[in-house]
């Protein structure tokens, strides 16, 4: 028999592998079962956006019943203003944006846009009102023009170009072999992380949503790209209610308000200056980042990097 010629420990390994993958599949189905299907309320109406004010009222949430992630979060982002959300990894920052999109429902509390409870409006109208610039943007295997126009299909060529210009993407496109007709994506020209993020910004400029969620990339871009992205983001967030989930504090110094989260709770709120003066969690984060940046700078200057 073939099985007998296979060493026993090898059989054991296969057994464990198979058992583990069955467990993984089991867990996967458990997760799928738990992911709630969000339906429109029977009497759901389209969201009527006036200014785009976002308000969380004592929002609690858990992905799994045994682990509370948001422990009563309340805040308001007034229409047209920028609210930066900072805090340690795992504090619950991205969870706030998932709840705002209604990918999940709070276990208690309410989320309002211009005074309307988002659980009472149609999901289509809710998602049409919110633009998202994610950490990582997926490109279609198509032209760069197609990828930008994804923000709004009926945009004219001129509008696509203007969006690219505002997103600081125009020079990148100008350097491409076939300009706006250049194929990008997996089977075409590969774009860098910063370039892909600018495509997402250009799409958002075309979509022109009243509310914006910017999920800042964690990966350190070089400071030139960083500057360009910051300028592009400033252009797109002007006059829109903007939630910035920030990892690098230097990018949010000018936010109208900064909210600091820690383990599912809002622990501080205020402007950059006020929070620094308060000498609390934010001031601690800021000083730590400053020291890290200075150390990196010193390393660069002495040419010891890499």
Nearer to ligand ATP, 63 or 182 (CB): 63
Shortest Å distance, C-beta 92 to ligand ATP? 4
Q: In angstroms, give the least distance from the CB of 189 to ligand ATP.
A: 29
SS (H, E, C) the chain: CHHHHCCHHHHHHHHHHHHHHHHHHHHHHHHHHHCCCCCCCCCCECCCCCCCCEEEEEEEECCECCECCEEEEEEEECCCCEEEEEECCCCCHHHHHHHHCCCCCCCEEEEEECCEEHHHECHHHHHHCEEEECCCCCCCCCEHHHHHHCCCCCCCHHHHHHHHHHCCCHHHHHCCCCHHHCEECCCCECCCHHHHHHHHHHHHHHHCCCEEEEECCCCCCCHHHHHHHHHHHHHHHCCCEEEEECCCHHHHCCCCEEEEEECCEEEEEECHHHHHHHCCHHHHHHHHHHHHHHHHHHHHHCCCCC
Interface with ligand ATP, residue 249, by CB under 6 A: no
Among 91, 118, 130, 233, which residue sits at the site for ligand ATP (rule: CB under 6 A)?
91
- Distance (Å) of CA 87 to CA 40, 158, 218, 260, 293: 32, 40, 13, 5, 18
**Which x/- pattern, by CB under 6 A, does the window 157-196 give for ligand ATP?**
----------------------------------------
Would you say 182 or 289 has its CB closer to ligand ATP? 289
* Position among 82, 95, 147, 204 found at the interface with ligand ATP (CB under 6 A): 95
Stretch that binds ligand ATP, among 48-56, 76-84, 89-97, 289-297 (CB under 6 A): 89-97
* CB closer to ligand ATP, 40 vs 265: 265
Sheet with 54-61, edge to edge strand ranges:
70-77, 54-61, 108-113, 116-117
Interface with ligand ATP, residue 63, by CB under 6 A: yes
Question: Can you tell me which of 90, 239, 279, 284 binds ligand ATP, judged by CB under 6 A?
Answer: 90
Q: Based on the shown chain and the rule CB under 6 A, indicate whether residue 73 belongs to the binding site for ligand ATP.
A: no
Of 71 and 120, CB closest to ligand ATP: 71
Counting contacts by CB under 6 A, is residue 143 touching ligand ATP? no
| Residue 65 lies near ligand ATP (rule: CB under 6 A) | no
Task: Work out whether 68 is an interface residue with ligand ATP (CB under 6 A).
Answer: no
Question: What residues contact 57, with CB distance under 8 A and at least 6 apart?
Answer: 74, 109, 110, 111, 112
- Taking CB under 6 A as the binding criterion, the range among 90-98, 115-123, 172-180, 274-282 that sits at the site for ligand ATP is 90-98
Choices 19-27, 88-96, 109-117, 168-176; region in contact with ligand ATP by CB under 6 A: 88-96
Residues 30-49 interacting with ligand ATP (rule: CB under 6 A): none
How many Å apart are CA 178 and CA 113, to the nearest integer? 43
Considering CB under 6 A, how many residues would be counted as binding ligand ATP? 10
Q: Does residue 69 bind ligand ATP (CB under 6 A)?
A: yes
The nearest distance, CB 95 to ligand ATP, in angstroms, is 3
| Residue ranges in contact with ligand ATP by CB under 6 A | 63, 69, 87, 89-95
């Amino acid at each position: 028999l073939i099985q007998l010629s296979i060493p026993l420990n090898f059989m054991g390994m296969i057994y464990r592998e198979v058992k583990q993958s069955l467990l993984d599949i089991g867990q996967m189905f458990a997760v799928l079962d738990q992911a709630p299907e969000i339906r429109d309320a029977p009497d759901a109406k389209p969201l009527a956006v006036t200014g785009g004010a976002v308000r969380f009222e004592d929002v609690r949430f858990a992905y799994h019943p045994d682990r509370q992630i948001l422990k009563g979060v309340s805040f308001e982002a007034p229409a047209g203003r920028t609210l930066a959300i900072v805090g340690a990894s795992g504090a619950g920052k991205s969870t706030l944006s998932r709840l705002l999109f209604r990918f999940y429902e709070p276990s208690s509390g309410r989320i309002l846009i211009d005074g309307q409870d988002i659980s009472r409006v149609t999901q289509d109208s809710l998602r049409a009102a919110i633009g998202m610039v994610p950490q990582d943007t997926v490109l279609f295997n198509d032209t760069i023009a197609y990828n930008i126009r994804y923000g709004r299909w009926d945009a004219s060529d001129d509008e696509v170009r203007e969006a690219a210009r505002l997103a600081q993407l125009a020079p990148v496109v100008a350097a491409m072999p076939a300009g706006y007709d250049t194929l990008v994506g997996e089977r075409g020209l590969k774009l860098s992380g910063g370039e892909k993020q600018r495509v997402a910004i250009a799409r958002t400029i075309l979509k022109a949503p009243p509310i914006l969620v910017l999920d800042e990339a964690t990966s350190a871009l070089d400071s030139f790209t960083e500057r360009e992205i910051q300028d592009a983001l400033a252009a797109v967030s002007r006059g829109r209610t903007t939630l910035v989930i920030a990892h690098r504090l230097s990018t949010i110094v000018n936010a109208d308000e900064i909210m600091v989260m820690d383990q599912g709770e809002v622990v501080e709120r205020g402007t950059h200056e006020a929070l620094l003066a308060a000498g609390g969690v934010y001031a601690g984060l800021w000083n730590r980042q400053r020291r890290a940046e200075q150390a990196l700078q010193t390393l660069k200057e002495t040419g010891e990097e890499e």
